[in-house]
């Protein structure tokens, strides 16, 4: 197991593997997004309280889930890089951050569009909205910190500390609707209770979440490959790849 980890943690061996996986996950993302949007906007029934305005939930909730999940994965890679000083771990963490930030922004933006007809306003300083906004700032801070420090090792360590410390915000986002009196509705899906929505709605939401995860994997692998070429540009194997591309 250790030898397998060492094999795939090497940029040289990971680069061709990522290249083979990108088309697979890209195709899965396209198929699942098409299915999820069709289920959510054409098959799922109209909500008896909110009408069709609720349908943005299929993008909003999946994006919110992904923004939190990606941050935990990013912090995990950052911690691995900080502890074992592996190049690929830092590259993975850095490649996850922009996609996580994008999903956090999408969650806030779609939430604002949903909030207007539901609450009568685009934004309130609600506990969940505020903690999700803090998550977006953590992503931006992580990206900015990595870019601000010239030495890759120092940049990796500093940003890893920020990522690991910021993980505390993820459970705050999830449990905020339980801990405080907020406008945001409670969880419709929870392992502790039966779903509060029709099976079609639930399946559409899960399909969209899987679609976003497939998209994330494809985009992150492509970004990691680009960073590997940049970081390892002085090595012979990268020079050979660049020569073949020319």
Q: Is 187 within a domain?
A: yes
User: Bigger pLDDT: 193 or 97?
Assistant: 97
Strand partners, 16: none
Q: Is 178 within a domain?
A: yes
Look at the chain and report how many structural domains it folds into: 1
Alpha carbons 48 and 213: distance in angstroms, whole number: 30
Q: In which band, very low, low, confident or very high, does the pLDDT at 114 lie, cut at 50, 70 and 90? A: confident
Q: Is 80 within a domain?
A: yes
Q: Is 237 within a domain?
A: no
Distances in Å between the Cα of 81 and the Cα atoms of 108, 144, 165, 186, 228 are: 30, 18, 15, 36, 15
What is the rounded average pLDDT of the residues 129-156?
Answer: 95
Q: Is 55 within a domain?
A: yes
Q: Is 230 within a domain?
A: no
Q: Report whether pLDDT(191) > 50.
A: no
Q: Which tokens is 163 given?
A: 């990522």
pLDDT tens digits for 65-113? 999 999 999 999 999 999 988 889 999 999 999 999 999 999 999 999 9
Structural domain harbouring 43 = 30-221
Q: Is 194 within a domain?
A: yes
């Amino acid at each position: 197991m250790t030898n397998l980890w060492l094999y795939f943690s090497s940029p040289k061996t990971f680069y061709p593997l990522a290249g083979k996986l990108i088309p697979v996950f890209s195709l899965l993302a396209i198929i699942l997004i098409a299915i999820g949007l069709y289920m959510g906007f054409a098959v799922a029934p109209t909500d008896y309280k909110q009408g069709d305005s609720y349908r943005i939930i299929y993008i909003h909730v999946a994006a919110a889930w992904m923004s939190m999940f990606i941050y935990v994965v990013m912090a995990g890679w950052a911690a691995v890089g900080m502890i074992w000083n592996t190049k690929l771990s830092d590259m993975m963490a850095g490649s996850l951050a922009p996609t996580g930030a994008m999903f956090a922004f999408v969650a806030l933006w779609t939430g604002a569009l949903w909030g207007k007809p539901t609450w009568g306003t685009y934004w309130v300083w609600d506990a969940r909205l505020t903690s999700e906004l803090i998550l977006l700032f953590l992503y931006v801070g992580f990206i900015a910190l990595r870019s601000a420090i010239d030495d890759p090792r120092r940049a990796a360590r500093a940003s890893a500390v920020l990522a690991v410390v910021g993980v505390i915000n993820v459970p705050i986002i999830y449990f905020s609707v339980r801990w405080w009196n907020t406008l945001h509705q409670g969880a419709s899906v929870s392992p502790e209770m039966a779903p509060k929505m029709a099976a079609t709605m639930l399946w559409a939401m899960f399909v969209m979440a899987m679609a976003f995860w497939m998209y994330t994997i494809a985009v992150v692998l492509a970004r990691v490959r680009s960073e590997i070429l940049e970081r390892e540009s002085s090595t012979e194997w990268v020079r050979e790849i660049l020569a073949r591309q020319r």
